[in-house]
């Protein structure tokens, strides 16, 4: 358990440091349109891939849709459209996903 938290902490620190180093190196430089497009779409693609991997779960040789994750994603989407703020929308989606998971396991 401690190893998992250590890994999470190290990954968070390395991500933070890489972003700071990237900002310092790229500050004040002109980017080509292709590079700007790359930096714009890659995070969206990565987040989409992570979400899809959580929704479609392989179980016993079949692919099963995780209902709590799917509903949480939909609720997060609706909250994003309503609030137009990322963090509160994700918090609402996570809480709803946990609540649905609790209801399904009860």
Which residue do the tokens 């396991």 mark?
105
Residue 23, pLDDT > 80, answer no
pLDDT in tens, 77-89: 999 999 999 889 9
Task: State what percent of residues in the chain have pLDDT above 70.
Answer: 99
pLDDT: which is higher, 91 or 104: 91
Q: At what angle do helices 67-83 and 86-105 cross, to 10 degrees?
A: 150
**Three-state secondary-structure class, residue 65:** strand
pTM (two decimals): 0.61
As given in the structure block, the two tokens for residue 88 are: 């509160």
Average pLDDT over residues 3-27: 85
């Amino acid at each position: 358990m401690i190893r998992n938290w250590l890994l999470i902490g190290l990954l968070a620190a390395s991500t933070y440091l890489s972003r700071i180093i990237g900002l310092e190196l790229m500050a004040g430089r002109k980017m080509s349109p292709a590079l700007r497009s790359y930096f714009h779409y890659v995070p969206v693609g990565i987040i989409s891939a992570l979400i899809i991997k959580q929704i479609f779960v392989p179980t016993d040789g079949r692919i099963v849709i995780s209902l709590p994750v799917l509903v949480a994603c939909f609720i997060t989407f609706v909250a994003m459209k309503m609030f137009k703020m990322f963090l509160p929308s994700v918090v609402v989606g996570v809480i709803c996903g946990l609540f649905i998971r609790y209801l399904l396991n009860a």
